[in-house]
Amino acid sequence: MTLRLYDFLDSGNGYKVRLALTQLGHRFELVEVDIMTGATRTPDFLALNPNGRIPTLVLEDGVVLSESDAILFYLAEGTPLLPDSRLDRARVLQWMFFEQYNHEPSIAVARFWTKHLEMNALQQELLPQKQEQGYAALGVMEGHLAGRDFFVADRYTIADIALYAYTHVADEGGFDLGGFPAIRAWLDRVAAQPEHIPITKSDF
Amino acid sequence: MTLRLYDFLDSGNGYKVRLALTQLGHRFELVEVDIMTGATRTPDFLALNPNGRIPTLVLEDGVVLSESDAILFYLAEGTPLLPDSRLDRARVLQWMFFEQYNHEPSIAVARFWTKHLEMNALQQELLPQKQEQGYAALGVMEGHLAGRDFFVADRYTIADIALYAYTHVADEGGFDLGGFPAIRAWLDRVAAQPEHIPITKSDF
């Protein structure tokens, strides 16, 4: 049995896992799940992942892992995508928790609402807050990347993959990266890594 | 130089770190920072942690770590609080990312608004959504804990610490744990661990 990834193609969280699997040379089966029609909330899917979310990865022996950044950590252990030192590993996790707490809930959510939904009144009221929080997260990233090529340990790691996923499509959420030159240069460095794939690639 | 923890006593995120430091036998200096008066947004604090948040831990050599669950992982590496197996470590992280993405933004935020703020109109409008999302997170936890003593690897780990922090004070956010017997039994097991401390302990 090969690795099986349950995923929604336009999800940056899913893209992180597709990108890492590809760059680490893993073959996998992509099972597309339409989150727009409730396919992650069916009894069958909830039996797989009780939290009802993609990406969900089923390992060769049937073990199920969820949470994109936990999957990245699992895949990257023992590879160049995760540093060996205890401190650098903590720093990688620090940026991944920043990504899930500060970056994704603002930038990815603003993008999802803008791109995939007819926003309701509450979402329209919240959008400026999402924009403000998203720009604050981008500001923290810009400050860190000034004078650095990558987020941790001077090399490309899963911290870069985690933050690249929604930053490189932030414009789709209404974010203008014009004022963030260090981020733009870093996006180019990430996209230039060997075996890089776009978020739209669907044949695996 | 000893470990120095910048923290706000009522923060569950901070409490996670205080609890782990205590149970691992580390001495540390607690520097209380009043998040209610903007003390995490001063130039001095932002020089320490550009994301302007507690808990922030300064290590013996002056290195700064932030993000509560990344700090937990750093402290727990090589101790009984973090399993050795790659899969169990990924499962610990899976629950910690669940905590920061699903649990904290609903349960902790509802508690913070209820306990520390005069809610504005938008927060009052959002509170029912926070309640619904919080109960959904508690439902996922309850299902997982039915028949299990702890979240991962049949033993007390940092996944339990991370989820205990805001679950044990969920009532302060208006959550009723009456319908969650497995969670209540697990809360008792966590509180019975050696060297357990309450969230209110301030002398270290």
- Asked whether the beta carbons of B109 and B115 are under 8 A apart, the reply is no
ipTM strictly over 0.85?
yes
At A139-154, the pLDDT tens digits run 999 999 999 999 999 9
pLDDT(B92) > 70: yes
- Asked whether the beta carbons of A92 and A163 are under 8 A apart, the reply is no
**How many structural domains are present in chain B?**
2
> What is the pLDDT, as a whole number, of residue A55?
98
Average predicted confidence (pLDDT) for chain A: 97
**Residue B163 sits in the same domain as residue B96:** yes
Instruction: For A71, name the nearest residue in chain B, comparing CA atoms only.
Output: B90
Decide: pTM greater than 0.90. yes
**Residue A52 sits in the same domain as residue A117:** no
CATH number at residue A146: 1.20.1050.10
**Has residue A184 been placed in a domain?**
yes
DSSP state of B64: E
pLDDT(A62) > 80: yes
Mean pLDDT value of segment A14-23 = 98
**Has residue B196 been placed in a domain?**
no
Which of these three, B76, B96, B128, is where a domain ends? B76
Residue with the two structure tokens 């790691």: A157
**Has residue A196 been placed in a domain?**
no
- Asked whether the beta carbons of A197 and A22 are under 8 A apart, the reply is yes
**Residue B25 sits in the same domain as residue B112:** no
> What is the pLDDT, as a whole number, of residue A153?
97
pLDDT(A1) > 80: no
Please give, rounded to a whole number of angstroms, the shortest distance from the CA of B2 to a CA of chain A.
17
Percentage with pLDDT > 90 across chain B: 98
Residue A121's contacts (CB-CB under 8 Å, 6 or more residues apart) are: none
**Residue A109 sits in the same domain as residue A24:** no
Mean pLDDT value of segment A111-120 = 93
Instruction: Report the alpha-carbon distance of residue B48 to residue B28 in Å, rounded.
Output: 17
**Residue B43 sits in the same domain as residue B72:** yes
**Has residue A10 been placed in a domain?**
yes
Which residues 145-204 on chain B approach chain A with CB closer than 8 angstroms? Answer: none
**Residue B55 sits in the same domain as residue B142:** no
Helix (H) or strand (E) holding A145: helix A121-145
Reduced to 3 states (helix: H, G, I; strand: E, B; else coil), residue B78 is coil
**Residue B91 sits in the same domain as residue B32:** no
**Residue A61 sits in the same domain as residue A93:** no
**Residue A36 sits in the same domain as residue A93:** no
Long-range CB contacts (< 8 A, 24+ apart) of B132-136? B133/B102, B133/B105, B133/B106, B134/B103, B134/B106, B134/B107, B134/B110, B134/B170, B134/B173, B134/B175, B135/B175, B136/B102, B136/B106
**Residue A62 sits in the same domain as residue A8:** yes
At B45-91, the pLDDT tens digits run 999 999 999 999 999 999 999 999 999 999 999 999 999 999 999 99
- Compute the C-alpha angle B72/B169/B129, nearest 5°: 100
Chain B residues with CB under 8 Å of A69 CB are 93, 97
Instruction: Report the alpha-carbon distance of residue B104 to residue B110 in Å, rounded.
Output: 9
Q: Do B97 and A70 touch (CB under 8 A)?
A: yes
CATH number at residue A64: 3.40.30.10
Chain B residues with CB under 8 Å of A144 CB are 50
At A55, phi and psi to the nearest 5?
-75, 145
At A68-112, the pLDDT tens digits run 999 999 999 999 999 999 999 999 999 999 999 999 999 999 999
Please give, rounded to a whole number of angstroms, the shortest distance from the CA of B150 to a CA of chain A.
17
At B165-195, the pLDDT tens digits run 999 999 999 999 999 999 999 999 999 999 9
> What is the pLDDT, as a whole number, of residue B1?
64
**Has residue A198 been placed in a domain?**
no
Q: Which domain holds residue A151?
A: 86-191
Instruction: For A100, name the nearest residue in chain B, comparing CA atoms only.
Output: B101
Please give, rounded to a whole number of angstroms, the shortest distance from the CA of A131 to a CA of chain B.
16
